[in-house]
Amino acid sequence: MVAGILVGVGGGTIRVPRQPYLGAQAIIGCLIAGAITPSILVSFLRDWPLFLAIVLSTLAASSVLGWLMSRWQVVPGTTGVWGSSPGAATAMVLMAEAFGADARLVAFMQYLRVVCVATAASLIARFWVETGAAPPPAIIWFP
């Protein structure tokens, strides 16, 4: 991400050919599908109201925040709406550009959110998730 920012600030562009891009997407999709077990599906079906409530509350909060940023003119035009929209950062940046918003600011907002969420998840996992009593296995750096 830092390299992409530096290239963008320097005026360069990065173009990934379509076939490798689609191939990478297919591989990631297969890896995700392979990680989903029947027990995960059962938990989704059992707790679907909770999952639906979380998704809808996230959409509502981000929509209100984006509307307020546009209304109060914190950021220019519809940039606040696109920048605060949850998920699909790349798609949001492309749609924002197509609708006349500042694509660079939307990208900054979207990827800053990704960094904040990853940092928060790491800190929560480190300090509030109980680990097992067994010590972690030793790492063999050079077998």
Q: Side chain identity at 121, as an amino acid letter?
A: A
- With respect to residue 51, please indicate whether it lies within any of the assigned structural domains: no
For residue 51, what pLDDT is reported?
95
Span 109-126, pLDDT tens digits: 999 999 999 999 999 998
Residues 39 and 65 in one domain: no
Domain count, the chain: 2
CA 114 – CA 86 distance, rounded (Å): 10
For residue 57, what pLDDT is reported?
97
% the chain with pLDDT above 70 = 100
Span 69-86, pLDDT tens digits: 989 999 988 899 999 999
Span 41-77, pLDDT tens digits: 999 999 999 999 999 999 999 999 999 998 999 998 8
For residue 136, what pLDDT is reported?
75
Residues 63 and 82 in one domain: yes
**Residue ranges making up the domain that contains 21:** 17-46
Task: Please enumerate in sequence order all residues whose Cβ is within 8 A of that of 102, keeping only pairs 6 or more positions apart, or say none.
Answer: 75, 76, 77, 79, 96
Residues 62 and 104 in one domain: yes
Report if pTM > 0.85: no
Residues 62 and 36 in one domain: no
* Number of other residues whose CB lies within 10 A of the CB of residue 46: 10
Query: Read out DSSP for 99-134?
Result: TTS-HHHHHHHHHHHHHHHHHHHHHHHHHHSPPPSS
| Residue closest to 7 by CA, chosen among 107, 91, 81 | 107
Residues 29 and 80 in one domain: no
